[in-house]
């Protein structure tokens, strides 16, 4: 059965077509994760309608990642169904098929957002089902990642994507790779492994940068109390300094790199640790330090693996 778009159009009392549903605008750039999550509803969890060669998959996703472009590991498959004719499942002329409506309805909760891969899909689903659909650049980036990971995410899909359907390089991935000097990655070299390594780089940077405001706020006390100006310090170096102040009895690695404290600085901070006792929260400084150290280790590992992968890929494409 196919639900006719014409037949299901609601009308006002005077017989004129009803206006399409309106939804609140998204939060402005720079909004906090909590504000984004509140706008999305359902603790930030959205549904994703992902089109495959032979049908549609419905996935659960942490929608906050759409506002910071990351986190494909947060995707969970809920359902996958094969459609004999996808053109009849959803299109402007016939609307939505009963099969697709039932598939979405089975998993959708009231007020929950639904990310879709085409502008037409957004219009049709919003008009026919009243579901707030998301379709923008971040959603397109998400769909690109899902396509390249389709075989592992939707294992019941036996058909392969056509060359036209598979966009080999997204703008987000290109930006991440270029920022780390991997500017010679050809589209033919992109596979699931390369995608996950690029995402690891992005996530590790996000993990560090999300603490920037807090670290810089605490860092201002270094100049006031110890005469040390951390103005252009790397965040790992700043986190190390704060952790050392909170736990002066613990040893740290010193050196001349931009991520490390010099031996003289470390000695000064240890001697001044008592000055910060009522200023810094020890547990917060320690947890941030541990998270940043782990993120930087993860990043270093990903860079090493990317160097190997891109070198092997370059040889394979020659």
Select the more confidently predicted residue: 29 or 58: 58
Q: What is the pLDDT of residues 148-191, one digit of tens each?
A: 778 778 889 888 776 666 556 677 788 889 999 998 888 778 87
Domain extent, residue 22, equals: 2-167
Q: Indicate the number of domains in the chain.
A: 2
Domain final residue pick, 121, 151, 167: 167
Same domain membership, residue 163 and residue 95: yes
Which residues 6+ apart lie within 8 Å of 13 measured at CB? none
In this predicted structure, what is the pLDDT of residue 7? 37
Mean local confidence (pLDDT), 11-25: 64
Domain final residue pick, 116, 135, 167: 167
Question: Could you give the percent of the chain with pLDDT greater than 70?
Answer: 87
Tokens of 79: 């359902």
Mean pLDDT over the full length of the chain: 86
Select the more confidently predicted residue: 239 or 171: 239
pLDDT at 276 over 90: yes
Same domain membership, residue 194 and residue 143: no
Distance CA 217, CA 28 (A): 24
Same domain membership, residue 153 and residue 141: yes
pLDDT at 224 over 90: yes
Domain final residue pick, 167, 194, 212: 167
Select the more confidently predicted residue: 198 or 12: 198
Mean local confidence (pLDDT), 15-43: 82
Same domain membership, residue 247 and residue 185: yes
Distance CA 164, CA 53 (A): 12
Query: 97, 1 in Cβ contact below 8 A?
Result: yes
Q: How confident is the model at residue 9 (pLDDT cuts 50, 70, 90)?
A: very low
Strand pairing report for 95-97 and 2-3: antiparallel
In this predicted structure, what is the pLDDT of residue 8? 44
Same domain membership, residue 33 and residue 81: yes
Same domain membership, residue 128 and residue 149: yes
Same domain membership, residue 252 and residue 186: yes
Q: What is the pLDDT of residues 40-85, one digit of tens each?
A: 999 999 999 999 999 999 999 999 888 875 555 568 899 999 998 8
- Top mean pLDDT of 143-147, 200-204, 236-240 is at 236-240
């Amino acid at each position: 059965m196919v639900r006719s778009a014409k037949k299901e159009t609601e009308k006002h009392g005077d017989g004129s077509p009803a206006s399409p549903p309106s939804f609140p605008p998204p939060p402005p750039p720079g909004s906090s994760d909590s504000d984004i999550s509140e706008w999305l509803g359902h603790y930030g969890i959205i549904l994703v309608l992902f089109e495959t060669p032979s049908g549609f998959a419905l996935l659960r996703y942490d929608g906050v990642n759409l506002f910071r472009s990351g986190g494909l590991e947060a995707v969970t498959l809920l359902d996958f169904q094969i459609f004999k004719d996808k053109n009849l499942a959803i299109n402007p002329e016939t609307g939505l098929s009963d099969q697709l409506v039932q598939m979405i309805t089975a998993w959708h909760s009231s007020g929950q957002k639904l990310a879709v891969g085409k502008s037409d899909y957004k219009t049709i689903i919003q008009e026919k089902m009243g579901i707030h659909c998301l379709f923008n650049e971040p959603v397109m980036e998400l769909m690109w990642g899902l396509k390249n990971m389709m075989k592992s995410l939707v294992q019941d899909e036996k058909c392969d994507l056509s060359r036209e359907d598979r966009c080999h390089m997204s703008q987000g991935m290109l930006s991440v790779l270029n920022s780390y000097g991997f500017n010679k990655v050809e589209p033919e070299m992109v596979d699931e492994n390369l995608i996950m390594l690029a995402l690891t780089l992005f996530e590790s940077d996000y993990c560090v940068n999300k603490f920037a405001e807090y670290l810089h706020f605490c860092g201002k006390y270094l100049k006031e109390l110890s005469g040390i100006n951390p103005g252009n310090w790397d965040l790992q170096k700043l986190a190390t300094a704060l952790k050392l102040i909170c736990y002066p009895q613990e040893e740290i690695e010193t050196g001349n790199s931009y991520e490390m404290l010099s031996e003289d600085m470390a000695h000064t901070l240890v001697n001044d640790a008592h000055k910060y006792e009522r200023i810094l929260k020890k547990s917060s400084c320690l947890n941030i330090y541990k998270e940043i150290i782990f993120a930087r280790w993860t990043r270093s590992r990903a860079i090493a693996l990317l160097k190997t992968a891109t070198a092997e890929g370059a040889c394979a494409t020659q």
